[in-house]
């Protein structure tokens, strides 16, 4: 069963059938494909299509799902699946076909707390952190960062926000120093007053 599924997926017609099924147009296009196949005669490339047509009546939809799933996750067929996915044409069309479904699935998963924790754990992993750090050291990354910053500074709104942020930072840095100086001045003035008062008392005592 698994061998048959892999053989079908490896064929050109099998790839087309997967793409059509993902885009929701498999029913109409399969009829056209069957028509053209009958008119053109039995060719080498029609083996996958014939296999798919023979497989569908024999198996229910649920059984087909299980068979395909078992094939995709099976270690023995992993290399075959990887080989299929490395075909640039198939990979590109496959990505386009599942693009909207992938976005919708991601939007649903992002609301799941367990999925959020998985993403958080992945982002905090030492391997990913090291990869990011290594990336920031590359000349290409730094050049791109400078380009982004330069483009951002051309935006008047962004520039105003940066200026306001700098003003806030400067004020926060200067404020403690001013308070400290005023506190020191107040302390020295109190000491002078205490010293002056002590001297006056001494003079009064001497006069008596």
Residue range 134-193, pLDDT digits in tens:
888 899 989 998 999 888 888 888 888 889 999 998 888 887 665 656 656 655 555 555
pTM of the model: 0.29
Tokens 């078992």 map to which residue?
70
Say if 18 falls within a structural domain: yes
Residue range 22-43, pLDDT digits in tens:
665 444 444 555 554 444 444 4
End-to-end CA distance of the chain: 122
In this predicted structure, what is the pLDDT of residue 95?
Answer: 76
Say if 141 falls within a structural domain: no
Say if 130 falls within a structural domain: no
Mean pLDDT of the chain: 70
Domain that holds residue 50: 2-86
Residues 6+ apart with CB under 8 A from 10: 48, 80, 84
What is the rounded average pLDDT of the residues 79-98? 76
Say if 44 falls within a structural domain: yes
Spell 81-101 as b/e; 16+ CB within 10 A means b.
beebeeeeebeebbeebeeee
Q: Residue 102: is its pLDDT beyond 70? A: yes
Say if 153 falls within a structural domain: no
Say if 125 falls within a structural domain: no
Q: Domain count of the chain? A: 1
Say if 30 falls within a structural domain: yes
Centre a 10 Å sphere on the Cβ of residue 69 and count the other Cβ atoms it contains.
Answer: 10
Say if 42 falls within a structural domain: yes
């Amino acid at each position: 069963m698994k061998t048959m599924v892999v053989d079908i997926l490896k064929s050109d017609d099998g790839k087309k059938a997967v793409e059509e099924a993902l885009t929701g147009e498999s029913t109409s296009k399969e009829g056209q494909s069957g028509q053209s196949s009958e008119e053109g005669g039995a060719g080498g490339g029609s083996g996958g299509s014939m296999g798919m047509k023979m497989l569908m009546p024999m198996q229910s939809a649920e059984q087909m799902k299980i068979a395909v799933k078992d094939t995709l996750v099976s270690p023995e067929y992993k290399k075959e699946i990887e080989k299929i996915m490395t075909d640039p044409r198939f990979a590109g069309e496959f990505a386009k076909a599942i693009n909207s479904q992938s976005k919708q699935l991601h939007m649903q998963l992002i609301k799941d707390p367990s999925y959020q924790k998985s993403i958080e754990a992945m982002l905090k992993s030492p391997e990913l952190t090291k990869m990011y750090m290594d990336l920031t050291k590359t000349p290409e990354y730094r050049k791109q960062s400078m380009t982004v910053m330069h483009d951002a500074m051309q935006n008047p709104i962004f520039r105003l926000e940066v200026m306001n942020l700098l003003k806030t930072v400067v004020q926060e840095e200067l404020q403690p120093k001013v308070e400290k100086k005023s506190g020191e001045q107040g302390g020295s003035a109190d000491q002078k007053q205490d010293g002056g008062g002590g001297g006056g008392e001494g003079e009064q005592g001497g006069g008596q």
